[in-house]
Amino acid sequence: MRKLKFTFILLSLFIGSSALMAQTTTSTLSGKITEVNGDPLPGATILATHQPSGTKYGAMANNQGLFSIQGMRPGGPYKVVVSFVGYSTIDHTDITLSLGETFTLNSSLTESLTQVSEIVVYGARTSKFNTTKTGATVNISGEQMVALPTISRSISDMAKFSPYTNGMSFAGGDGRSTNFTVDGSNLNNNFGLGSNLPGGGNPISLDAIEEVQVVIAPFDVRQTNFIGGGINAITKSGTNKFKASAYTYYTNQNMRGNKIGDHDFGDRAKESNSIYGVTVGGPIIKDKLFFFGNFELEKSPQQVIRWRASTDGISDQQTISRTTEEDLQTVSDFLRTNYGYETGSYTNFPADESNL
């Protein structure tokens, strides 16, 4: 978590339907509309509304009473209204869609000869085992990411929620074959120098991520470029409510030990990591145009080399070298006197990092 992580997603704008037409950034709602006796109701109308943003999706049942709405925005809650002329209307509320998965919603309508008040059905999020799967997948929602522990605040920390992962290796495969997408765009680590994705850095703050999906062996080979596993992430966008948050994380040398067995390493070198962030989102035009922004600043003053010169030429085989301070000073004086070269300090090796 010491590489570039400056995210300013100021325009996560959704105009009109606000659907993201990409296979790993959307969700699907499908089901069957029937009468109470089980006969299909062709022509029944299904209207789904994403309540936080007001985005609406619609469909009509076919001759078998089946319907499917693709390209829907993941998350929720959704309100789904099922209606047909001469039949009572059913409202389904509190429906949450998972990234890349299909939510099945079946409804049975009863004939209505007189005007009656609408029937309201409350539905909670179903188990992932009840949704349509495309291979071994794990979805981590925004609420789960807030609750899950993380060391580096990286997406790879969230991927550990899947039992098939070991670092960035999925099901024993090479981590460099893991396909990583953000809003459908590839951010891969094919060169393989870093342990995290992409390229050992975290260019997108976790506070800007809406949902993460870990796919191990999807049937849709386009998701992982035909090999390996994959991580699909989608970023947050604004809603009809103004929301803002501020956060900070801090750690320093006092939060780690300085002993191994009976050996004491002495005073710990100054080391710290500070993160400051803020998020803000809301509507520009209600139900049509939204904004979301995230700014995160990270500072890490630290030492790049922890070995130090000895005073008596004896090494402790831990952090004290056999080279003495007197020898290093002699070399430094020689280079300065004969070549005008300044070697710099041999007791302090700062490697301060910042994402700015």
Q: What is the pLDDT of residues 169-178, one digit of tens each?
A: 777 777 777 7
User: Do 142 and 57 have their domain in common?
Assistant: no
Last residue of a domain, one of 235, 260, 277: 235
Statement to judge: residues 120 and 144 lie in one domain: no
Same domain, 82 and 117: yes
CA–chain centroid gap for 104, Å, is: 25
46 pLDDT more than 90: yes
Domain boundary among 205, 235, 265: 235
Average the pLDDT over 324-337 and give the result: 91
Entry pTM: 0.62
Which backbone phi and psi does 203 adopt, to 5 degrees? -70, -15
273 vs 15, residue with greater confidence: 273
Q: Which amino acid is present at 180?
A: F
Residue 281 inside a domain? The answer is no
Rounded Cα distance between 198 and 206, Å, is 14
Where does the pLDDT of residue 76 fall: very low under 50, low under 70, confident under 90, or very high at 90 and above? Answer: confident
**pLDDT of 7 higher than 50:** no
As a whole number of angstroms, the distance between CA 295 and CA 300 comes to: 17
Q: Are 290 and 15 within 8 A, CB to CB?
A: no
Whether residue 271 lies inside any domain: the answer is no
Of 194, 215, 235, which residue is a domain's last? 235
Report the SS3 class of residue 158: helix
Provide mean pLDDT across the span 300-329: 83
Same domain, 47 and 97: yes
Of 3 and 94, the one with more pLDDT: 94
Q: What letter represents residue 127's amino acid?
A: S
Q: What total number of domains does the chain contain?
A: 3
The confidence band for 198, taking pLDDT boundaries of 50, 70 and 90, is: low
Q: Which of 57-61, 74-78, 315-319 is predicted least confidently?
A: 315-319
The answer to whether residue 5 sits within a structural domain is: no
CB 80 within 8 A of CB 91: yes
Residue 225 has pLDDT above 90, yes or no: no
Quick check: 160 pLDDT over 50? yes
pLDDT level of residue 356 (50, 70, 90 thresholds):
low
Cα distance between the two ends of the chain: 14
